[in-house]
Amino acid sequence: MITEIRFGWVLNAGPARGMEASRFLEIARQQIALIGEQIDSLWFTDHLQFGSSPVLEGWTALTYIAALYPQYRIGHMVLCQSFRNPALLAKMGATLQYLGGGRFLLGIGAGWHEEEYRAYNYPFPEPRARVEQLEETLQIIRALWNDEQVTFQGRHYSVHSAYCEPKPEPVPPIIVGGLGTRLLHIVARYADGWNAAWIKPDAYRERLAAFERACHQLGRDPTQLQRSWFGRCTCVPSAKEAARLQGRGLLGTPDQIAEQLQAYIDLGITAFMLGSWELEDLQTVELLARQVLPRFRAGASAS
């Protein structure tokens, strides 16, 4: 069986300390120029801070990039549902879909990074409550994007006689990111796609079984949801250099990274959102663009 494999590029979350905006944008342009023929989408993360490291606000950054590159689909890996009122987020997504020509993909998750919640004065409830909030967020967004007028009263969020006009056309696909069992039931009920970030193939296999159980319990065919993986990469030309690499994500030579990608494809993943670990590591981008991703452009064998 031949499966179409899609790739998207996740831009770096922010500049190096003291870097001017012109330089950050120049590097982003260089990355996209190198890898552009191998991808069909551009992505940005959604965080507010990691210590004192420079981090750009995700919605603003992606909107700017979307205007610069009208040939790509656009999305976040993934939006934190806690940061924006659900009805406002539905309105923002509908507006971007209208002005952007129908290219928006809604990637969203329950939120996890406690530091930024505390720093920016957002409540940080227990995981169960954050997942409940995500479910209500998706109910509100789906209703506002599809129904003429919406009234919804939930435990966490509500809207009253709300309109969302103009409607997004087409309605953006919803990609939910996360791995928890309760969250996977939300994926099965509301989402068009499931994104698993950073996870290794063996751990993904176990989560995949939980995902499929959730789908079957809700009477949904799990193969109808696109499965994707997000993570960053460091690619080097030699095995000697690869032996020194440490950390998360995809690490190694082009052959090694291709093998790592194939392991996910063999488990049913058909879309990858990839990025470079280091902002100015154009070697990784070039090696991915020239020696790794082209191997999968015509499809890959799926078991």
Q: pLDDT tens digit string along 146-187?
A: 999 999 999 999 999 999 999 999 999 999 999 999 999 999
Does residue 211 sit within a domain?
Answer: no
Q: Cβ contacts of residue 20 below 8 Å, gap of 6+?
A: none
User: Containing domain of residue 235, as a range?
Assistant: 1-11+226-303
In the predicted model, what is the mean pLDDT of the chain? Answer: 96
Alpha-carbon distance of 271 to 261, in angstroms, equals 10
**Amino acid type, 69:** Y
299 pLDDT higher than 50: no
CB 259 within 8 A of CB 202: no
Does residue 244 sit within a domain?
Answer: yes
Alpha-carbon distance of 182 to 72, in angstroms, equals 32
Does residue 302 sit within a domain?
Answer: yes
| pTM over cut 0.75 | yes
CB 108 within 8 A of CB 176: yes
pLDDT at 2: 62
Does residue 103 sit within a domain?
Answer: no
CB 116 within 8 A of CB 189: no
93 pLDDT higher than 70: yes
**Amino acid type, 6:** R
pLDDT at 302: 37
Does residue 269 sit within a domain?
Answer: yes
Does residue 297 sit within a domain?
Answer: yes
Does residue 243 sit within a domain?
Answer: yes
pLDDT level of residue 303 (50, 70, 90 thresholds): very low
How many CB atoms lie under 10 A from the CB of residue 263?
15
Alpha-carbon distance of 72 to 273, in angstroms, equals 13
pLDDT level of residue 298 (50, 70, 90 thresholds): low
pLDDT level of residue 55 (50, 70, 90 thresholds): very high
pLDDT at 297: 81
pLDDT digit string (tens) for 14-43? 999 999 999 999 999 999 999 999 999 999
Q: Cβ contacts of residue 300 below 8 Å, gap of 6+?
A: 2, 3, 5, 262, 265
Domain count, the chain: 1
Does residue 29 sit within a domain?
Answer: no
Going by the DSSP 8-state scheme, the letter that residue 292 receives in this structure is: I
